[in-house]
Amino acid sequence: MKKGLLKLFLLLIPVMLLACFSSAAQIHLKNGIVLRGEIVSSDENSVIFNEQDMGVLKLSNEKILKIVEGKEVKEEKINPAPLKLQEDYFDAYARDLRRKGPISFSFSGGMSNINGGDFNEVIQSINEAFETIGSLLPDATLSLDWEEVKWIPSYKGELLLNLSPFFSIGLGGGYLTKTNPGILSFSYGDSWLGDDPLSDYQNVFEDNDIAMDAEHKLTVIPLTFSLYLYVPMGNMADFFITGGAGYYLGKLEATQTYESDYDYQEDYYDSSDTYLFSYYDRFAVEGTKIYEATCNAIGYHGGAGLDIKFSPNMSLVIEGNYRSVTFSDWEGNATDDWDYYMKWGFSSTYIEDSGTVNEEFEGQLWYYESVDSLEGITMAQIDLFEEEPDSEDYKNIRLAEINLNGFSFRAGIKISF
């Protein structure tokens, strides 16, 4: 009896060993990960696999490179399984995609929409003033091509410290720049019969020509600190929200070429239409002013976006942000070189003067509104002055403010290490 039981036990040993070997399996994923465990079940779409470290997983067949079972398992080199995650929602391939290295780097580009502050207010004011002048002086020749700055190309590079799959800290640097040219000209001439009580009659002639060709270049370098919170969306993407602060380095460069020629003449006659004398007044100037001003400011930003993964180490990032930053203390230096010609007085006693002026100075960027005698038209301007401008023809004088308040949209690539 005992010999019979012993024979039966010896026969069961190889059967048990065969069962153990047949239940062991390795699944090689296309991303290089090798999983070890037991196959629970399978069909034409997926495999249910009991992984030795992560438990039961449902693996899509399209993610599987090959399956090794039985005795062949011992001959295969086993790579470590991916890090565990608590959710059972993701299969092993998605778990590997969601793993982040400790460091990521991103580069993105796009466009920023800005309010502009005084910079755009001045351009808007000039356009409105020209429309008013055109309606009041239909015989005047007006030309204006000067548009507000609404969009600025924006570039950003950022180093991300990944503290977890769902939280990162970003240290970034950016570059925004925009060149904005503007051209304006005004020409008007008129003549009329004067009413000087000391003469029988007088003819009055007046001509006024003004032209300016301006080019402004605004450049901003943001140095930013940001926090990122990631929320999984399916197997291949994260939705994230972000916010932070930045230190912004701003620079404004301007080149203004200007011309002005004012010509006024009164011709006096007696009752027999005999010419008596004239009064003449002319002032002409032509020059170029160049200035460069800088200003630094602290700003804030917040936004949201998508992190779309197309490989374990690389993803497409699409992001929208709102930025708030105002530059209000611009300082810089300027050169103003101009030629002038003046002639005034009565006929036979005219006084003439001409010359060249070269100025170099340091100052601040000021906002002011000039008031024209024609129907009280006001026109806002910004310019660099050595001291606060002081004139009875100016009002609302203050330091100029330029802001970048507005939304930005960028897309780029993120690489994890």
Q: What is the CATH classification number for the domain harbouring 82? A: 2.30.30.100
Q: Which pLDDT score is estimated for 375?
A: 66
On whether residue 78 sits in a domain, the answer given is yes
Do 125 and 58 lie in one domain? The reply is: no
One domain, residues 51 and 86: yes
In this structure, the answer to whether residues 83 and 109 fall within a common structural domain is: no
Judge if 24 and 83 occupy the same domain: yes
Dihedral angle sign, alpha carbons of residues 102, 107, 111, 117: positive
| Residue 4 in domain | no
| Domain count for the chain | 2
**Same domain assignment for residues 92 and 66:** yes
Amino acid letter, 181: P
Cα separation, 178 vs 154, whole angstroms: 10
User: Is 1 inside a domain boundary?
Assistant: no
pLDDT at 42: 87
Q: Are 60 and 127 part of one and the same domain? A: no
CB neighbour burial string for 84-111, b if at least 16 within 10 angstroms, e if fewer: eeeeeebbbbbbbbbebeeebebebebe
More confident of the two residues 242 and 53:
242
Residue-level pLDDT at 41: 86
- In this structure, the answer to whether residues 150 and 46 fall within a common structural domain is no
Residue 22: its pLDDT value, please? 41
| Average pLDDT score over residue span 175-188 | 96
Can you give the pLDDT at residue 71?
Answer: 63
Examine the domain organization and report whether 158 and 58 are in the same domain. no
Answer yes or no: do 48 and 89 share one domain: yes
Is residue 9 a part of any domain in this protein?
no
pTM of the model: 0.76
Q: What is the mean pLDDT of residues 81-90?
A: 41
Q: Please give the residue range of the domain that contains residue 116.
A: 103-416
The verdict on 66 and 152 lying in the same domain is no
Regarding whether 112 and 81 lie in a shared domain, the answer is no
Out of 98, 129, 145, a domain closes at 98
**Residues 244 and 224: beta-carbon distance below 8 Å:** yes
Does 63 share its domain with 163?
Answer: no
> What is the predicted pLDDT for the residue at 100?
63
Last residue of a domain, one of 98, 113, 141: 98
Instruction: Examine the fold and report which residue of 98, 130, 159 is the final residue of a domain before the chain moves on.
Output: 98
Between 240 and 43, name the one with better pLDDT.
240
* SS3 of the chain: helix, strand, coil, percent, to 5: 15, 65, 20
Res. 85: pLDDT tops 90? no
pLDDT band for position 119 (50/70/90)? very high
Instruction: State pLDDT tens for residues 360-414.
Output: 999 999 999 988 766 678 899 999 999 999 878 889 999 999 999 999 999 999 9
